[in-house]
Structure 1
Amino acid sequence: MSDQFKARPHDPYNVYTSPNEAILCLDSFQSMYTQMLCGLLNRDQVLRIGAIFASGLLRAIRFLQLNWKLLVHDIETGTLNPKITDPSIRECIFHLLQPNTELAHFIAKKCSAENWEGILKRIWPNTKYLDVIVTGAMAQYIPTLDYYSGGLPQCCIVYASSECSFGLNLNPMSKPSEVSYTIMPNMAYFEFLPHDQAEPPFYDESPSRLVDLADVELGKEYELVITTFPGLCRYRVGDILQVTGFHNSAPGFKFVRRKNVLLSIDTDKTDESELQSAIERASLLLREFNTSVVDYTSYADTNTIPGHYAVYWELMIKDPEKGPTREVLDRCCLAMEESMNSVYRQGRVADNSIGPLEIRVVKNGAFEELMDYAISRGVSINQYKVPRCVSFTPIMEILDARVISSHFSPATPNWTSERR
């Protein structure tokens, strides 16, 4: 909404297909609909497609799946859907929208096909890459984006948050797993708290341990602490970063994980990266069935005795007749448990303090409804991330109401007692 954006000078390397009125519209449906319409009208001029986070881009694809018939009608007739009521948008689109039967028939043919593999490349043929963050927890979306984009490169260009910008990826065409961000020292004052594997109070988190930007060491992990121009003083962002190298004297960092523990039943502590790794291991069992995990979140269910981890999965099954069986999904539960740390497995095997892990498969679109709920409560669509652990009752009700099957680990994971 800033004047810097509204009155920005023309930049030939950063041209939007949509007018400002569509981009800045506060109604998410009207904004998304109009931007998608403009993107289709200018499909041959589009060179890149993106959103801040991968989840936002997938939401746009899902929006196209649900609304392509309405968009085709507008393009064919040269009229704007009456659901778009914002007068400033209607005035802008009035000058852009002309009847185009050929384009309408083309889009209808592509979108009506059951197979949406490579749909982005087929509709926007000149697209060179996806401009989207797929590091950290967003790595979960890489296979789905590969499917819809036909394997277009996924470029993670900037590392930033709502507090300030942090760094740039100086090798933007690198693989998502190899992305490293070089910190820009003029954006804020950066300090780093050495991160140990132990949790407080077993290690010192006092300010005296803070390390300046120039003093970080290669290969070590740190928690990012920032002091910003608007006034945040030694604010702990909560990101754990690993030093990967240096550009001149400026260090580069790989995003490792969020600091906070996600799940805990007893003495176990499972963080975001552990959960992500467990999901990836279990997903390998789904490959032969042409199935992947579209999205997930988790919940420490203490309503049972003993309590257990419940993980919600939304699946993309490319061939429903050859999808994974109940037995396969049960084995996915066990595969996840095999990936957990030794404290978790001890609780499962020896202490019996943790029950079998559960996977709750939800119907398609459940996580989109979760996003809609968050947006209705004031969350910015550009800042929204799927929570990897939930406990808020309304969110639980949304997910539980959409569960179509439930699966439990059929056995206990491997664990061996070690003497010290």
Structure 2
Amino acid sequence: MTNYLHSLYLQIISEGTLYKKEFDEIAKNPGDYNTNLLLNLLHSNASTEFGQLHNFASITSVEQYKNSMPITGYDNYEPYIKRMIQEQQDNLLTSYPIRHYMESSGTQGTAKYLPLSNPSKEIIHTLSKQLFSRIYELIGDNWTYHKLLLLIVPADKTLNEYADRNSLSTELFIGIFEENMSDFVVSPMLAYEKGRIVDTQYLHAMFALLDENMCSIFSPFMSFILEFIHYVNNNKEMLIQNIEMGIIDDSINISKEDCATLLSTIKPNKERAAQLREIFEVYPTSWPKKVWPNLELILSTCSGSFLECTDVVRTYVGNEVNILGLGFGSSECVFSMPVELNQNDAVLLPHTGFFEFLPLGENDYTKTLTLDEIEIGKDYEILVTTISGLYRYQMRDAVTVTGTYLNTPKIQFSHRIDQTVNIFGEKTSELLLRKIVYDMASENGLSIHNFSVYPDTTSAPMRYVFFIEFSDDALHISTKQMQESMEKKLRGANFLYDLFASSGKLAPLEIHILQKNSYINYKQNLLNEGKNISQIKPVRIISSAKIKDFFLKHVEHKNEKLTELIMN
């Protein structure tokens, strides 16, 4: 650690401490603050085109807002956003000029662009620095202030000459480091430059292994960290040999110019190579803490669909390494921020948007609750009115209230009410999965009884795995042909899935053909366990190891092999 890097850490911690004190004052009286935020937003946006349409000027209370403003989704804003991006029109959704957009994947995979005002962007950056302050408060001087591993996917920031686009994860982490990013990260900056022809996994792994003092791993999604661990496991011999010889491997996809630049920063390191060989031999499944003795912290999203990845990562790093969840955030809004180590919940942020909570099972959206009305232990659908021009926006996300911080509720993301498969943020919806499965069957004259899918985060690369039970007695196409057909459809329908598949982060999907009556047997098992038949829903997206194991035991191995043999 250099004195300069140490001073950078202390500077961010100092700034973050001021923001933390401001937030703690808000957290003492969150209900009033959140209500006042809503009324101020309605007042300041009353003259916008959207505000005039919905008569914001006449709304003076939360109840009036709930009764007069309908629930909205992206379709309600898309025409306005197109005008904002393509024609640089202002004062449509918000009085703030909008030049920044958060990119997100839509239900059918079409890109959505959510407006990001400068005040919202600044809030994200202050939250980033608060994170550093909280880490210091929670870990203290055990956090050694060395370089860290930052695993993010670089984004093309340009939409057109008027607007740029980014992701929440990039804004969050760039907000921490700003122009000093190269001083904080172990990886070369080449790994973060969009448009470069380069194997970023190799760069992250190679340069992380070289730096035995690395103290933290930061990533927006825990699946990125698990993928990194898988990559090191599968390529450790090559990586160690490259470290020993001070070379960039010939198999790596990289330009000659970039390779020369990297080679100028490394040299043969036989001592480190020998040390790594011994560690991997002695500690084959618990090597991270041995490779990086100063590794003290992992910062990432670890709730919801990332719980399984978090559990697997924990088996590698052990209990000595702290995991700080990033809380609940989306392209629309940052909803919560962590305040405790090794927990999956986080405190609500009353200053980032106005929040409404609908008890699960309730369908009347005039009966939403404010954040000072929700109860610990209960589940709610969350709606948001943002600082950037979204009003009573519905994302179909469910949260559980877990406790309080000062007087503000803590929440944990529970699930998507409209389920998705989400390994790297691609958010493939159940609707889209159903479409590609049934389109494949229809095109090949097949009849499907039922299907399920789960994200296989234990394979390297990770992939989608489908279980399909056909009604047909015989299949006239091979499993391989089905897989290729569905993979093509999925990549064509979800641009983020295609991005991750093209870069090698996601392996091609896999299909297991189920024995006849597998789903009938599954339902019968639940009935035998005492489940009410009215509570048994179709198993589309598998979220538990128990359900996955049930279907794995019902795979028709003989039929699969016979079909492959006949077709080949």
Counterpart of 1:348 in structure 2 is none
Instruction: Measure, in 2, the Cα distance between the counterparts of 1:116 and 1:17.
Output: 23
CA 1:28/1:197 → structure 2, altered by over 3 Å: closer, same or farther? farther
How does 1:269-308 map onto structure 2 within 5 Å?
Answer: 307-308=449-450
What is the CA distance between 1:65 and its match in structure 2?
2.5
Residue 191 of structure 2: aligned partner: 22
Q: Distance in 2 between matches of 1:211 and 1:96?
A: 56
Give SS of 2:185's match. Answer: coil
1:19/1:92 contact within 8 Å kept: no
Checking the alignment, whether the CA contact within 8 Å between 1:53 and 1:134 is kept in structure 2 is yes
Letter in 2 for 1:255: F
Q: Which position in structure 2 is the counterpart of 1:182?
A: 347
C-alpha spacing 1:100/1:163, structure 2 compared with 1 (3 Å): same
Per-residue CA deviation, residues 107-163 of structure 1 (Å, 9 max, x unaligned), is 34444x497311212222221232232211211223321222234333213322233
Counterpart residue number, 2:364: 204
Distance 1:104 1:310, change over 3 A: same
Q: CA RMSD in A?
A: 4.7
Distance in 2 (alpha carbons) for counterparts of 1:46 and 1:148? 16
Alignment correspondent of 2:213: 45
1:57 to 212, 225, 245: 225
Task: Give the aligned partner of residue 328 of structure 2.
Answer: 159
Query: Is the 1:56–1:381 contact (alpha carbons within 8 Å) kept by the matching residues of 2?
Result: no
The aligned residue for residue 399 of structure 1 is: 510
SS at match of 2:401: strand
State how far apart, in whole Å, the 2-side matches of 1:316 and 1:96 are.
Answer: 34
How far the C-alpha of 1:243 sits from its partner, in A, is: 2.4
What does the per-residue CA deviation read over 1:319-346, in whole Å, with 9 as the maximum and x for residues that have no partner? xxxxxxxxxxxxxx9xxxxxxxxxxxxx
Partner of 2:498: 377
Give deviations 1:234-271, integer Å, cap 9, x for gaps: 32232211223333343221222211157xxxxxxxxx
Q: Secondary structure at the match of 1:59?
A: helix
Return the TM-score normalized by structure 2: 0.46
Q: Pick the structure with more helix per residue.
A: 2
Name the structure 2 match of 1:138. 306
Residues 29 and 312 (structure 1 numbering): CA distance in 2 closer, same or farther, change over 3 Å? farther
For the structure 1 residues 17 and 399, does the alpha-carbon distance in structure 2 shift closer, same or farther, using more than 3 Å as the test? same
Q: How does 1:67-86 map to 2 (within 5 A)?
A: 67-82=235-250, 83-86=252-255
More strand by share: 1
Alignment of 1:240-389 (within 5 A): 240-260=398-418, 307-312=449-454, 314=456, 377-378=498-499
Could you tell me whether the CA contact under 8 Å between 1:183 and 1:251 is conserved in 2? yes
Q: Which residue identity lines up with residue 124 of structure 1 in the other structure? A: W
**2:178 partner letter:** R
In the alignment, the residues of structure 2 paired with residue 91 and residue 125 of structure 1 have an alpha-carbon distance, to the nearest angstrom, of 31
8 Å Cα contact 1:21-1:88 kept in structure 2:
no
Which amino acid is the alignment partner of residue 404 of structure 2?
Answer: F
**1:191 is matched with which residue?**
355
Distance 1:417 1:156 in 2: 33
User: C-alpha distance in 2, partners of 1:168/1:63?
Assistant: 30
- Mapped pair 1:119 → 2:287: yes
* AA partner of residue 348 (structure 2): I
Partner SS for 1:146 = helix
- CA offset digits 1:376-418 (Å, max 9, x no partner): 7235999x9x9xxxxxxxx9x8312xx4997947673253698
* Distance of 1:186 and 1:69 partners within structure 2: 49
Decide whether aligned partners of structure 1 residues 160 and 379 sit closer, same or farther in structure 2, where only a CA change above 3 A counts: farther
Q: Which moved more, 1:134-143 or 1:78-87?
A: 78-87
Identity of aligned residues (%): 19
What is the SS of the residue equivalent to 1:307?
Answer: strand
Corresponding residue for 2:395? Answer: 237
Would the alpha carbon gap of residues 381 and 134 (structure 1) be closer, same or farther in structure 2, given more than 3 Å must change?
A: farther
Instruction: Give the counterpart letter for 1:398 in structure 2.
Output: L
Contact between 2:345 and 2:412, CA under 8 Å: does it hold in 1? yes
Q: Which residue of 2 aligns with 1:8?
A: 178
Identify which range, 299-308 or 129-138, moves more after superposition: 299-308
Structure 2 unaligned spans of 5+? 1-154, 158-169, 422-428, 460-466, 468-479, 481-486, 534-568
Match in the other structure for 1:171: 340
1:104 equivalent in alignment to 2:277: no
How far, CA to CA, are the matches of 1:256 and 1:216 in structure 2? Answer: 15
| 2:302–2:326 CA contact under 8 A, matched in 1 | no
Separation in 2, partners of 1:61, 1:94: 24
Look up the match of 1:336. Answer: none
Q: C-alpha separation between the residues in 2 aligned to 1:167 and 1:223?
A: 15
CA distance in 1, matches of 2:256, 2:391: 43
Contact (CA 8 Å) 1:23, 1:35: kept in 2 or not? no
Higher mean alpha-carbon deviation, 406-415 vs 117-126, is at 406-415
Structure with higher RCO (Cα < 8 A, 6+ apart)? 2
Could you say which structure has the larger radius of gyration?
2
Give TM-score scaled by structure 1 length: 0.60
Distance 2:217 2:342 in 1: 15
Q: Is the 8 A contact 2:222 2:300 kept in 1?
A: yes
| 8 Å Cα contact 2:357/2:374 also seen in 1 | no
Distance (Å, rounded) in 2 between the aligned partners of 1:381 and 1:46:
30
Q: Give the alignment partner of residue 413 of structure 1, picking from 508, 516, 525.
A: 525
Is 1:117–1:150's contact at 8 Å kept on the other side of the alignment? no
Tell me the amino acid that sits aligned with residue 498 of structure 2.
Answer: R
- CA 1:182/1:153 → structure 2, altered by over 3 Å: closer, same or farther? same
C-alpha distance in structure 2 between counterparts of 1:71 and 1:305, whole Å? 48
Q: Distance in 1 between matches of 2:513 and 2:291?
A: 33
